[in-house]
Every structure is written in structure tokens, then in C-alpha cells.
Structure 1
């Protein structure tokens, strides 16, 4: 009997190992597209198209708003259970449609550039929202739970190492070439990487899908809301994202517009954040082998809150060293937070109901991630005539204090293990 079972176990390990290699290789072209089209150069391209600050805000909010569509994807996956084809279709559409925005200046009248960009981007991220459910569900089954933390830590470290190089190369291209030509070069690079990304999707295994145990669609949708530990953690995380969105997305605005920090210094400061985030992925992944995802999620929160509190030091110390420290802490904290969020969704949810849990989680947190920066923008706008220190470090410090308080008062209870 043992000799008959052993080949099956070996086959399963082989499929899992090959899938993890494929997922790592797929991440390399994906990070190039993400950083060159949606990273720090996105605002520059939108300004080239003629976008106003309001239109830029709309574009930045689209990914979070699109996450609401994941609930529809969770329903679709019950009917169309071939997750590899679903990932290939929706993930491929996202890459190709988003990259096609580079063609807008060639085929669209100038006065319609920004409007068309917004609608094309909405289509791209609608596809992405559908693809995320297929991707996350497949990865949860493909990566064994016992190595999940370490694997994603190593994968993210490797991918973001390339990402740091890509950021430098992209900046050099834009600095050394006239504005339209530089963006054209970036889009050609992204077009090639989008094709490579789609080809990489074909290397994923097509694992069997465990459908929902709920026959009634309405009962399937309400399952995540009836799962008390999941709902408490999700609502707390959403509150956290909303509050940090009041300040953290505006760090660059404060440095550029209020503190008059040069672009060169900001590029180095941002690079320090990315390097810290890259290095932290493996550390958080290794810790995840010893400690639970919920516990580690809680540990990331003091780091993120401290990055906001340290803005107060800019009033009494040299700004540049403090800003480096702020962004290094932010990179370590958000690196762990984002990685552990993924592990939470794929590891702390019932397997048969996982697609709907994924959809509800990203739908709720996506709305919070949209509302936070919108409210933050209004706060900075309405405080425009207050003393400069209020906007330079006052808002960030206030948000940091609030984050510390909600982490201490609500965090442990919301992220506690074995909740009833």
C-alpha cells in the first residue's frame, strides 16, 4: 500500500514546486509593468496627457474602487472553475489593456486624452479585479501552508530587487530623453513585458477547484459576514487602511510642495523605502514560519504608526536624515503588512468558500483604501491657510497617534487567534 501511495505524493510535490517557480518567474515582468505604468512615473504621464489634480486623484483611486467587482468574480468562479484559464484571460486582459494606454496620444484627439485614459484604465482594473480572485484562490491551493510565509517572503524579495533596478532605469530614461519619447520607451518595455507576463501565466498548474458548499448564491455571499473572526479582522484592517490613507499617501506631496525637497533627494528617499521593503519580505516570511499571520500583522502596525509620528522630528532636526528614517520604517512595516494580508486571506479562510471571502475582504478594504486618501486630500485642502507646521508634520503626527491608539485598543482583540 505504501509503495502505491508514494508516487502520488511525489507528483503533488512536483506540481506545487513547479507552480511556485512559475509564479516567481511571472512576477518579474509583472513588477516591471506595475512600476513603470503605475509607479512614480504615472503622475508624470498623466500630467503629459494634460490631467488636472482631480483627474489624477480619480486615476489613483480606480484600483481600489475596482476591487468591489471581486464579489462578482467570486460568483463567476463557481460557474467557471478553470482557474488557470480565468487567470490567463483576466490577468492577460489587465496587462494588455493597461499597456494600451500608451497608444492614446497616437490615435485619440488631444482633448480626449485624459478621459479616454480614465475609461481604459477602469476597464484594465475591472479585469484585474476578476483575475485577483482566480489568482489568489489558485495560489492558496498551490503553495503548501507550511512553506507559504517563507516562499512569499523570498518571492517578493526577488521581485522587488528587480523593481528597485527598474525604478532607477525608468528615471534615467525619462531624465535623458524628451518627455514624449521617454514615455514611449517605457511603454514599449511594458508591451514586451505584458506579452511575457501572459506567456508566464500559461506555466501555472490547473489544480482542481473545490466549489462552495452553499447551493444558494445568497447564502454563499453572506458566509464571510457570518464568520465572526474573519469579519472582525477585516473591519479592523479596513479602518486601519482608511486612517493611514489620511496621511501616508501624501508624504510625497508634503516633501515636494511644502518642504521643497528636490526630486533627486525624493528619489533616494523612495529608493530607501523600497530597499527596506524588499529586505523585510524575507524576514517577515521567515517569522511567519514561527508566528501566526494575525500576530505578525499586529506587529507591523507600530512600525507604520511610528513612521507617521517621526514627522514631528522634522521640526527640530535636519529633515533629510529624518525622512530617510521615516521611509525605511514605512518600507519595513508596509512590506510586512501587505505580504501578511495576502497570507491572511489565503490561509485564514475556509477552502470551499475562499473565493467569496477573498472578494469580500478586498471589496471592504478597497473601499476603505479609496475613502482614506479622498478624505486626506480634503483635510490638506481645508487646512491650506493654517500655519505651515500643521500640514508639514501636524497631520502626520496626529494620524500616527490615532493609529497607535486603535492598534492598542482594538488591534489585539480584532486579530486575536481562535475567536469565538
Structure 2
């Protein structure tokens, strides 16, 4: 019965969890922040929060107990603590955005070690020869569910008074996130290999020269992505003229296409390695902001075309980045390798988000969003070309 039973449960658990994660860190919380009057700098900080949270991933090496119990408790606390952020719209105007940022950040900081714990657990649960296919299918399905959620959320947000529609969706997301914790606890956990002390394990991982070079590329990539990342949805709404319902439809097109592309990338990764997938998907993701910049209220079709490019790129890229880290890692020090991966991701994304806020505040271009997105395109392309080198 195992690991098949737990792998099926993991998919259902992910379906519920992705609703919370998408709504609390993506399109809906960005729309909520806009409705509360967030400035470009506040939007950049909101986009930086998931990456700032990754700075706490080393705590995973020092936590004691089995991975399943720790992941369940941390997820439970983080999702409960998002409730004040969802209710921030009821506060006096000057308190709304700071309260949203504070509790959204606190929620994500508490959940930060879960990524390492969960991925280490899943690496023991999923047979190595199936990782590409399993995670390719799981991630593509979760992408579809999450974006259907965004579409439904957009419909609610457009039809209820601001910001009540956003609040209703965010509260529903908290409920889905709490239910996912119950399913997480029903899955089995294989025994974990004994590992050296945290400091020694981190030293072993850091002394791996090839892995250190890979971490440098991860850092640069997420920095490049997040220079423009916080402004994609505001650009779609303010420049492209899309309603939140249409933003949700955009994400549905991307996710539906990702359900096709994800398993294809997964099979390619199982046959030829994750490096091949990284090289091709990063190039597509690097060129994609050009489509956004071509779009406008009068000429929106490049924005809609970018939904297909988004699916083609990210249905393989995110999975390949994490699986390439796993492929580098010896089993006995796997967690330390994953900690360094999440740190590189978090530091790169945080630095990119801070740069995004500074660039947007210059006020150059037709909108505050054009210059950061253009800069992101150039930086992404530079990193993607480095990934294409042997």
C-alpha cells in the first residue's frame, strides 16, 4: 500500500494547500493590497516576503522531532496567523497595509522551515526514478487548481465591494490550508537517515564546489525574476486594463497549459536530467517579460499569449530547480543541501524585490512598472545564457 497511498494523499493535501498559498502570496493578496492603497514600495515588500522568509530555513536543521509532525505544527501556526492579515481591511486606513504586511510576513516566516522538511520527507517517499514524473504531474495539477482558485477569487473580488471580496477569499484560503494539515498528518513518513550535526552538515554542503556554483545561479535567477515580479499583476491591471476576473482567467490558461507541459518536462528530466530542462525553461522565462511590455489596454493580446509562455517555462523550471538540488545532495546531508538552496533562492528574491522598489520609485517610463520589468528581462536573459553553458 505504501508509498502509493501517501503519494495519492499528498496530491489531495497539495490541492488544499495550494489554495491557501496562492491566495496568501499571489494574485489575490496583491489585489487586496492594491485595494487597501498599497504604494509601489509596499507592493515590492509584499512580493519580497516569501523570499525574506527563506532566510529562516536553516532552522529546519536544528528542529527536533519527525518531519511530519514538525511540518504539520508549523503549517497550522502559519495559517492561523494569516487571519489578522485577511481582516486588515476593517482597520483604520493608516493601519491597513502595515497590518497586512506584518501578519503576512509572520505567517510566511513560521512556514519557512517547512519547505526543507517536506521536500526531504518527499525525497524519501518518492522513488528516485519517478521524481520527475510525479512532481511534474503534481505541480502541474496544483498549478491548475490554484489558478482556478484565482479565477473564482477574481470573480468574487470583482462583484463584492472593496475590499470585502478579497477578504472573503483569503478567509476561505485559511480554511483550506487548515484542512490540508489534516491530510498531511495522514501520510506515512519513511525513517530518516542519521545525519551529522547541523554545522558539520552545512560545511559539507558548502564545500561542494559544483553545488556552490549552482547556488550562485539560483541566487542570480531569483534576483532577476523578482526585479519585475512584484509588478506583473499591477501591470496587467493598471496598464493592460485586465479586471481581476480576467487576471484569474489568464492564470487558468497558464495552469491548464501547464497540465500538459509539466509531465512532458518531467519525462524529459527522468530521461536526460534536470539540467536540460533548466536550460530550455529558463530561456523561455527570460524572454517572457517582453510579451508583457508589448501589451497595453488597446493591444492586450501579447499579455494573453504570455500565459502560454508562463506555462511552458514554469511547469518545468520550478520542479527542475528543486530536483537538481536533490540530485546534488548525498542522502545523509540532504537537508543541509536543501537549506542552502532555499537560502540562495530567498536571498536572491529578497535582493531583487528591494531593487524592484528602488527602480520603480525612479518614476521613469509610461508607468512605475515598465522599467523594473524591462530590467528583469535583461537580467533573466543573462542568467539563462549562463545556464546554457556546459
The DSSP-based 3-state class of the residue aligned with 1:319 is: coil
Please state whether the residue corresponding to 2:101 is helix, strand or coil: helix
TM-score normalised over the length of structure 1: 0.83
Match among 236, 244, 250 for residue 225 of structure 2: 244
Aligned mate of 1:142, from 117, 125, 134 = 125
Match for residue 124 of structure 1 among 102, 107, 111: 107
Partner of 1:407: 384
Give the Cα separation in 2 of the matches to 1:109 and 1:265: 30
Question: Which of these residues, 317, 324, 339, is aligned with residue 337 of structure 1?
Answer: 317
Contact 1:137 1:355 survives alignment (8 Å) = yes
2:134 counterpart residue number: 151
Equivalent residue for 1:308, pick from 271, 289, 292: 289
Query: How many angstroms apart in 1 are the aligned matches of 2:41 and 2:377?
Result: 26
Question: C-alpha separation between the residues in 2 aligned to 1:94 and 1:305?
Answer: 32
CA deviations on 1:172-194 (whole Å, 9 max, x unpaired) are: 22222233542443244224313
* 1:364 and 2:344 aligned: yes
Q: Distance in 1 between matches of 2:344 and 2:264?
A: 28
How many residues are treated as equivalent by the alignment? 389
Alignment of 1:207 onto 2:184: no
State the 1:208 CA deviation: 1.1
Equivalent in the alignment of 2:50? 63
Is 1:376 the counterpart of 2:378 in the alignment? no
Query: Could you tell me how far apart the structure 1 residues matched to 2:282 and 2:187 are?
Result: 34
Contact 1:246 1:375 in 2 (8 A): yes
**How far off is 1:135 after superposition?**
0.7
Counterpart Cα distance in 2 of 1:304 and 1:371: 19
Contact 2:251–2:307 (8 Å) recurs in 1? yes
CA contact (8 A) 2:44 2:356 kept: no
Deviation at residue 58 of structure 1 after TM alignment: 2.3
Residue 324 and residue 102 in structure 1: after superposition, are their counterparts in 2 closer, same or farther (change >3 A)? closer
Stretches of 4+ aligned residues off by more than 6 angstroms: none
Q: Under a length normalisation based on structure 2, what TM-score does the superposition of the two structures give?
A: 0.88
Mean CA deviation greater in 144-153 or 173-182: 173-182
User: d(CA) in 1 for partners of 2:158 and 2:107?
Assistant: 28
Contact 2:9-2:183 at 8 Å conserved across structures: yes
Shift, 1:33, TM fit: 1.2
* 1:178-189 map, 5 Å: 178-189=161-172
Deviation at 1:209, TM superposition (A): 1.2
8 Å contact kept, 1:64–1:369: yes
Q: Distance in 2 between matches of 1:360 and 1:88?
A: 22
Instruction: Tell me the CA shift for residue 131 of structure 1.
Output: 1.6
Q: 1:23 aligns with which of 2, 7, 10?
A: 10
Given candidates 58, 75, 97, the residue that maps to 1:91 is 75
Alignment partner of 1:207: what SS?
coil
Stretches of structure 1 that go unaligned for 5 or more consecutive residues are 1-13
Q: Compute the displacement of 1:104 (Å).
A: 4.7
- Could you report, residue by residue, the CA deviation over 1:289-337 in whole angstroms, capped at 9, with x for unpaired residues? 212012211121121122134457559xx83222222332122112211
Tell me what 1:74 maps to: 61
SS of equivalent to 1:329: helix
Structure 2 equivalent of residue 218 of structure 1: 199
Report how far residue 29 of structure 1 moved: 0.9
Structure-2 change in CA distance of 1:391 and 1:131 (3 Å): closer
Q: In 1, are the aligned partners of 2:148 and 2:252 still within 8 Å (CA)?
A: no
**Residue 345 of structure 1: how far off its partner (Å):** 2.7
Q: CA deviation at 1:375?
A: 1.3
Note if contact 1:248-1:308 (Cα within 8 Å) is conserved in structure 2. no
Aligned-partner Cα distance in 2 for 1:378–1:202 = 43
Shift of 1:21: 1.1
